[in-house]
Structure 1
């Protein structure tokens, strides 16, 4: 089981670790700062640094799967092509330093936090999302038209207000008693441990509160200039909002 250090601190850029398992498709570590693809957010890229100075480039991060294809508690660091010789040198117990591509992760954090601001500005259920280093999108289950400039101005105001962003937790029972906290129709909150991780934006003025396992900045001011680049009518009941950096 991989200890997911990024859950408690999204700003950790590296950590020491040991190899638990290795295969042709990737490396499992005992602990990591790499976020695996999930909840609409892309997996991290970066490097695994070996004691002898060798560097294994990680192109993607995924949740490992069991023999029946079900996700496990292990996190798989997927190497870039052409590194089979270096991959073959790794063994269980090999010491490495796991180091994420920090500029790429920070873009993901900024976009992911902005999608939570959009949930405040567009108070409708979400039925799809994608958060990449280059753009993000949310699909809202709604029929009313949206205004591109108004949404961009709304995001800018929430960024300028410098609202704190905090990681919290609620119990499964508390979530069951407050189903409105779940904004997404397509991604289920991470359950199973009895405690569900939450993201809260705002202190006395609550901007957004919902279950989320992704990485975020700690203050909306860190988002910077993010704008709505496109609005699309994807279906009779779906309006897509696409975000980009200004």
Structure 2
């Protein structure tokens, strides 16, 4: 089992670990700060160093029971002590982007009662789909103004691990369908943008909405009769 350091320390950029297993595509570690990907957020990339040699990590994926750090070519041996370093500029962009999506989700739910039907992100840009019948340029402009008000409100962003029974009593978490999680999952990680939005989420986020910076709504489109998409981008 790999200890997921990014759940406790999303700002951790470097770490030490031990190689615990090998796979065709890379290595498993006893602990990692590399985000594994999920919830629309891509996995991290970066470098593992051992004995003065650097191995480029091109991603992370689950392979059976292993959490594999993908490496092209030669790999460190099992038992090797390694130092890991994530691509921080890319990760921080993804943290800002992920929090921006939660702000967007919170505003659209609070003010328009629309549920999320899907989403995806890359560093600095993202899309989110909602259960909406109508979408217009005026609506997109209105949403942009509201989400930037929430950025400026300097809301704290808190991560917590809750017992499943407790999480299932929180209405905002019920709407994100935590009741559909496999029955063996007894603890739910939540991201709480205080006063705006609470969601079950395993990704990495900034500590305060002001870190997101200005969000632009750069596009809107219909993906079906009751499925509308908003595209956002962050200003540097």
Offset at 1:162? 0.8
Match of 2:115 among 114, 125, 141: 125
Instruction: Indicate conservation of the 8 Å contact 1:190/1:196, yes or no.
Output: no
Aligned equivalent of 2:68: 76
C-alpha distance in 1, partners of 2:231/2:77?
43
Q: TM-score, normalised by structure 2?
A: 0.90
RMSD, aligned α-carbons: 2.1
Instruction: Indicate conservation of the 8 Å contact 1:182/1:211, yes or no.
Output: no
C-alpha distance in 2, partners of 1:43/1:141?
27
Instruction: Indicate conservation of the 8 Å contact 1:189/1:196, yes or no.
Output: no
Aligned equivalent of 1:171: 163
C-alpha distance in 2, partners of 1:28/1:237?
43
Specify the SS of the correspondent of 2:43: coil
Instruction: Indicate conservation of the 8 Å contact 2:99/2:205, yes or no.
Output: yes
Aligned equivalent of 2:219: 230
2:208 paired with 1:219: yes
Aligned equivalent of 1:194: 186
Aligned equivalent of 2:63: 65
Offset at 1:17? 0.3
**Structure 1 stretches of at least 4 aligned residues deviating more than 6 Å after TM superposition:** none
Specify the SS of the correspondent of 1:213: coil
C-alpha distance in 1, partners of 2:218/2:53?
41
C-alpha distance in 1, partners of 2:144/2:161?
30
Instruction: Indicate conservation of the 8 Å contact 1:189/1:212, yes or no.
Output: no
Using a 3 Å threshold, how does the CA distance of structure 1 residues 109 and 188 change in structure 2: closer, same or farther?
Answer: farther
Offset at 1:144? 3.0
Alignment of 1:44-59 (within 5 A): 44-50=44-50, 52-59=51-58
Unaligned runs of 5+ in 1: 67-71
Using a 3 Å threshold, how does the CA distance of structure 1 residues 185 and 228 change in structure 2: closer, same or farther?
Answer: farther
Instruction: Indicate conservation of the 8 Å contact 1:128/1:186, yes or no.
Output: no
> Deviation string for 1:155-211 (max 9, x for gaps)?
211111111111123221123333542444699658744221111112xxx111111
Aligned equivalent of 1:69: none
Using a 3 Å threshold, how does the CA distance of structure 1 residues 106 and 185 change in structure 2: closer, same or farther?
Answer: same
Instruction: Indicate conservation of the 8 Å contact 2:172/2:198, yes or no.
Output: no
**How many residues matched?**
229
> Deviation string for 1:68-93 (max 9, x for gaps)?
xxxx4x422112xxx41x32xx2111
Offset at 1:153? 1.3
C-alpha distance in 2, partners of 1:175/1:42?
26
Match of 2:95 among 92, 109, 120: 109
Unaligned runs of 5+ in 2: none
2:83 paired with 1:97: yes
Specify the SS of the correspondent of 2:168: helix
Offset at 1:228? 1.1
C-alpha distance in 2, partners of 1:192/1:157?
39
